Structure 1
């Protein structure tokens, strides 16, 4: 058992022990108090009968009749009924202690208030009767009258009644039950926490395939939610580790080819000095490719890490697209690719970082140029989307007439270094669309891709307008 188990166990056990002891002590004190009050009043059935007889005599016969009856009883070996008025004087002039009168009043008051649960045995042992002389008399039989002998013959027992002892056995039973339930409760809470600790230790050692959701059983509490959250974390960490491993492998593969060509160019320059110029051209071209690849990798890493603080400004969409389209038309002249773009009649303004948005959209259009056949056309359109929540957005659509993408490859197109089956004869590293996706999402937008029904690919970028909340 771990330390947490014992902490839970001791805490719950002490809490329950305190509750059980407190309840037991309160019951014992209450019974003890009532016992002290009842100890001076005789409550046996014969005593109740004597009090009832005296009460009836006083009520219907008057004070003189009760005096005669009590004088008759005083000549016999039996417990005596006392009749005490409101001034504390006994009817026959006998001495009565104030404690005895107070005890009789407590028994009587508990009966009058209806609280008879602790006094059910003494009910009727004390009565209050109003006599014909205008006084009120308290009738009762004192307990343990030492001057009375042979009281057993009349059904009285002059020995003290059993007193209420401290409830040791109920307290022990409560302690045992508290011990069992505290152990179960501590185990119930500490077991999943121990499983979580072991799972975190395994994850820290590099084992990300551990899962604890199923081991939680049928729990439906915060600890079970924590176990599910751990499983989700482990799954995502595992996917991230695999992605990093795959990225490292792909980067190594992409760098290997230009490095190999650089080595060949250097070797050729040494062997054939007369071809030094062509070798230097090759070295310069491969160096530029490596510089471009490293630059794209750094940009992608910066975007994926979230370490990008957008320097937002108002960006006119038409002006942004116009500058990108002009550059794309110049590049498309070699393949006789026409780029069609018509500005939206309404001014469209975004809030974002101009250079990043330029790069994202430029990557999408350059990708369309790369896969478009000669003498084809690329169509670029903008549209304003209005929703019920008054969140106005702009949709930028870029469609080409290229071969499109295999349906099973669509979900991977925005992954770094992914190159579809149609990319075998084209240059590039497969990073441009991944960078575009990171930039668009950093601006609160989305980017999707789908094949057109006839031929080609459609890339759709959705971005919020600067005045999206009207």
Structure 2
């Protein structure tokens, strides 16, 4: 069922329940009022009858005439009886014993009794007079009141049914109008494809939910467009980087096999092929690390950053002969303040890539690694005195395969920093860069603890 139809039904149901409660309340109040009014009229009939037959000698002539004028105004199906102490009908003979002795006794006990039996209502009064004590019982059928209540009931049912039908159509119209902006958003979204991610949904002025939905979807499209562009760029650069060593290998082999050559020439060509194959292996390994950097956080375990930094420094000190890497700690006594959940292998790769770049671009100048703790943060800084990074290159250095304009003469593929940034972001860390061309670069990595 569509939301529009569901809203129409829900709106109609709520309205029907409320209207039913209102109509039922009106009906019950009206019924109670009519019943109370009829009982009052019966009570007046019983009292008038008693005054007419029992109090004639106690009333003045004018009052007695007034009672006589009221008495002929009988009610539909009216029956009135007066009983003495022996439960015998007096004044108005009751040949069929209209009321049982038990009812008469209840009137004497309670003083006044009202009850209904079928369509008939009955009122009983215990009337004390100087000539004796009597029980007056009056019964009648509220013909006009019952007919009016039946007419009121049918009128209310007709109004209820008609109102439900009208409210369903009004609810459908209201739901259609209310959901029209969503329908427009759906139609606009249907035409967006991977080849048209630059399209955006129209956002009007205001802060309603539809505008929030359109804005959120536009932000999603922005991220998707950036991801698709990055993916296309990554595939293009990866293809280019893979093609270069393969083309060199194939070219060298074809040229060498073209004519007979000396043994030393074959050895030189094989050495070149081996170097290109090693570059190709490094590239494939970097691409593999980049694709596997989205490890599940459930695989994290507690690790001390000071030990990890020492391992990274020790590793690259051996891998790059002649490198001068200094390591400085400024840590509190409690190791828990610099222990974080993480993947040791990925963080080793990330810190190693940053340190390797610092050593590569600093020449023979020393590289300084420092680790400090500030409040609930651990800061690792890697500083070199190398060629630096130009300001226009800094926003792009974490893009895959991007290389600064002053780094083209150095070996590299432009994957290391991209991989490092991705791994650090996965661990909730923030990486900051401060650099000045010709003077050096400082990478500051901030880990939350």
TM-score, reference length from structure 2: 0.70
Cα deviation, residue 210, structure 1:
5.2
Listed one character per residue, the Cα deviations across residues 122-144 of structure 1 (whole Å, up to 9, x for unaligned) are: xxxx9x99877597999999899
State the partner residue of 1:285. 275
Instruction: Give CA deviations for 1:200-234 in whole Å, capped at 9, x if unaligned.
Output: 644577654454572797534xx765554433333
Q: Deviations over 1:75-132 (max 9, x none)?
A: 899537989899999996477977xx99x9779xxxxxxxxxxxxxxxxxx9x99877
CA RMSD, Structure 1 to Structure 2 (Å): 5.0
1:428 is paired with a residue of what secondary structure? coil
- The yes-or-no answer on 1:241 pairing with 2:228 is yes
- 1:311: Cα distance to partner? 6.1
The offset of 1:242, in angstroms, is: 1.7
Shift of 1:8: 2.8
Q: How does 1:59-458 map to 2 (within 5 A)?
A: 64-66=57-59, 69-70=63-64, 74=68, 78-79=72-73, 93=92, 163-164=148-149, 165=151, 166-168=154-156, 170-171=159-160, 174-175=163-164, 178-187=167-176, 190-191=179-180, 194-195=183-184, 197-198=186-187, 201-202=190-191, 207-209=196-198, 211-212=200-201, 214=203, 219-220=208-209, 226-272=213-259, 273-274=261-262, 275-303=265-293, 305-307=294-296, 310=299, 312=301, 314-315=303-304, 317=306, 320-321=309-310, 324-325=313-314, 327-328=316-317, 331=320, 333=322, 338-342=324-328, 350=339, 352-372=342-362, 374-385=363-374, 387=375, 391=376, 393-451=377-435, 455-458=439-442
Aligned-partner SS, 2:379: strand
CA change 1:454–1:140 in 2 (3 A) is: farther
Is 2:317–2:324's contact at 8 Å kept on the other side of the alignment? no
Tell me if structure 2 keeps the 8 A contact 1:203–1:234: no
Q: 1:404 touches 1:456 (CA, 8 Å); kept in 2? A: yes
User: Is 2:5 the partner of 1:6?
Assistant: yes
Work out whether residues 42 and 142 of structure 1, in 8 Å CA contact, stay in contact via their aligned partners in 2. no
How far apart, CA to CA, are the structure 2 residues paired with 1:83 and 1:318? 111
Paired with 1:404 and 1:207, the residues of 2 have a C-alpha distance of: 39
Secondary structure at 1:408's aligned position in 2? coil
Contact 2:331 2:372 in 1 (8 A): no
Deviates more, 1:249-258 or 1:10-19: 10-19
| Structure 2 counterpart SS, 1:255 | helix
Could you tell me whether the CA contact under 8 Å between 1:302 and 1:308 is conserved in 2? no
SS of the counterpart of 2:223? helix
Deviation at 1:384, TM superposition (A): 2.3
Paired residues, number: 412
- Cα offsets for 1:333-379 (capped at 9, x unmatched): 3xxx643334558676645544433322221111112222x453322
Q: 1:84 to 1:229 in 2, by over 3 A?
A: farther
Query: SS state of the match for residue 402, structure 2?
Result: coil
Change (3 A) 1:209 1:215: farther
How far off its partner does 1:191 sit? 3.9
Query: What 5-or-longer segments of structure 1 have no aligned partner?
Result: 108-125, 145-157
The whole-number CA distance in structure 1 between the counterparts of 2:89 and 2:177 is 67
Rate the CA distance shift 1:205–1:377 in 2: closer, same or farther, 3 A.
closer
Contact in 2 for aligned 1:5/1:190 (Cα 8 Å): yes
Aligned residue in 2 for 1:120: none
CA distance in 1, matches of 2:427, 2:144: 95
Secondary structure of the equivalent of 2:8? helix
Closer/same/farther in 2, CA of residues 174 and 97 from structure 1, 3 Å limit:
farther
Q: 1:63 to 1:397 in 2, by over 3 A?
A: farther
Secondary structure class of the residue paired with 2:148:
coil
Quote how far apart the aligned CAs of 1:317 are. Answer: 2.2
Structure 1's 16 and 80: CA in aligned 2 closer, same or farther, altered over 3 A? closer
Hey, what's the Cα distance between the residues in 2 that align with 1:339 and 1:67? 131
Equivalent residue, structure 1, for 2:30:
31
Matched-pair contact (CA < 8 Å) for 2:203–2:211: no
Distance 1:209 1:22, change over 3 A: farther
1:150 corresponds to: none
Change (3 A) 1:346 1:176: closer
The residue number in structure 1 matching 2:118 is none
- Please tell me whether the aligned partners of residues 299 and 343 of structure 2 are also in contact (alpha carbons under 8 angstroms): yes
